[in-house]
Amino acid sequence: MVDKVNFENLSIEENIKNFIDYIRFERQLASNTIFSYKRDLNKYKLFLSLKKVDNYLEVSYDQILFFLEYLNENYCGSSISRMLSSGRNFYKFLVREKIVKKNPFIQIKNPKKPKKLLEVLSENEVNRFLNGIPYSTELEIRDRAMFELLYSSGLRVSEIVNLKISSIDFDEGLLRFIGKGNKERITPVGKTSKLFLKKYLNIARFKIEKEIKSDYVFLNKNGKKLTRQGFWKILKKYDKKINIGKNLYPHIFRHSFATHMIERGADLRVVQELLGHSDISTTEIYTNLNRKYIKDIYFKYHPREKNSV
């Protein structure tokens, strides 16, 4: 425990030191985190000095707002969030030690992180990637079938690696399986994907499987069920080889599937069903993603825009 002393008579430097001792010895935070707290609180101390705030124990809400304004002028969003958190936790410590009655930072919320736009592949980029996967060996045939299916049906990686042969209905061209949330999902399989899937099951899989029998569709080189980590390694191998020029991760094919469906006029409810989303608001992200495409099409095809000088 931090020794119980008369903290209210100590300077801000001394109480910052006591706080640092607390997070180091009692909370046992990492050295990098402790360094960040120390640096942030020294910046806060400097601000108080610049604004001639004499009593750090009686900082007002308005003064904290001035501090926030100062941060907004000098730092980016992530740095602001971190420094506000440091100040909030420092005063939380002072409240805990009964040095102050209330935390002046408590009503100040961290700035919201901007939502990252989902990255998707264009149709040409998807074609480049899929056509860049050779299919001369058993494992290459497996890989081509796997990625064709990933994009064709908008599957999650967990659904790919857990897919079973009994889930495939070639006559109907459908997959029936248990998806996220333990819900049954039915999704179509495209012609090209079905072609490579049949090729894999009829020609390559039994050679990979060897004496180990399994109902899982996609197996690793040892004949065992392919793992998510194994899938990642395969993707990264082709990413390096084909070099699309974008950060490839498994879900980008699912995002691309949904975006391309909407670009070509698919109803949002249908895309929701295909993706297995329980809430359509989750699917609506792809309509936002599609705005740039709509804008590009507008300027390309609208007669007044096309012929304007």
Q: Could you give the residue numbers annotated as active site?
A: 156, 180, 251, 254, 277, 286
Amino acid at 181: G
Contact 119, 152 (CB under 8 A): no
Q: 175 has which bridge partners?
A: 168, 187
- How far, CA to CA in Å, does 254 sit from each of 82, 179, 244? 33, 14, 17
Amino acid at 51: K
Burial class (CB in 10 A: 0-12, 13-18, 19+), 239: middle
Q: In what order do the strands lie in the sheet with 168-169?
A: 168-169, 174-178, 184-188
Geometric angle at alpha carbon 153, from 124 and 296, rounded to 5°: 35
Geometric angle at alpha carbon 301, from 288 and 261, rounded to 5°: 40
DSSP 176: E
Helix (H) or strand (E) holding 26: none
Helix (H) or strand (E) holding 197: helix 191-199
Amino acid at 37: Y
DSSP 126: H
- Note every long-range contact of 126-130, with CB atoms under 8 Å and residues 24 or more positions apart, other chains counting: 126/151, 126/253, 126/256, 126/260, 128/242, 128/244, 129/238, 129/242, 129/244, 129/248
**Tokens representing 193?**
């994907």
